[in-house]
Copies of this chain bind each other. A is one copy, B any other.
Amino acid sequence: MLTIKQVAERTGLTPYTLRYYEKIGVLKMQQRKDSGARVYTESDVKLIQCLCGLKKLGMSLEEITEFFRDGCVLEKIEQGEDISKLTPSLKRRTDILTKHLQELEKKREELDNIIFLTKEKLVMYDELSQNKQSFATRARIV
């Protein structure tokens, strides 16, 4: 049983961020102390660490919310739940990851093109400053 500060330290997030994630529905903590203070389990920490992993994959909090809609799958397996029962959850997650992967690969293509265009522009300015001022070059420079 951990406090918000301990979870923040373990995950590299701040308590502010953890509360914010709960507010927008990415995390849904149910347990509270009598005082109202949040109580976290080791499962929660694992889930939050996975969340951080997904963030590093460039997923938005909206995508991540959808990804974790049905909570911590590993916890359910450990509690003896049959994997066949979890198949829909797992399928949804692979679907989200697949879709995200496609977006990433599209982004890479765009980035490759941008890099090509930047190099092209660089060549133009280089040529101009070396006085090789062909019309073709000058026409595209401002």
Q: Is A29 an interface residue (CB 8 A)?
A: no
Q: How many copies does the complex hold?
A: 2
Interface residues on A, range: 35 or more
Q: Which residues of A contact B (CB under 8 A)?
A: 46-47, 49-50, 53, 56-58, 72-75, 77, 83, 86-87, 90-91, 93-94, 97-98, 100-101, 104-105, 107-108, 111-112, 114-115, 117-119, 121-122, 125-126, 128-129, 131, 133, 138, 141-142
Nearest Cβ in chain B — how far from A86, in angstroms? 8
CB closest chain-B residue, reference A46: B142
Q: Which residues of B contact A94 (CB under 8 A)?
A: 122, 125-126, 129
Are A56 and B114 touching (Cβ within 8 A)?
A: yes
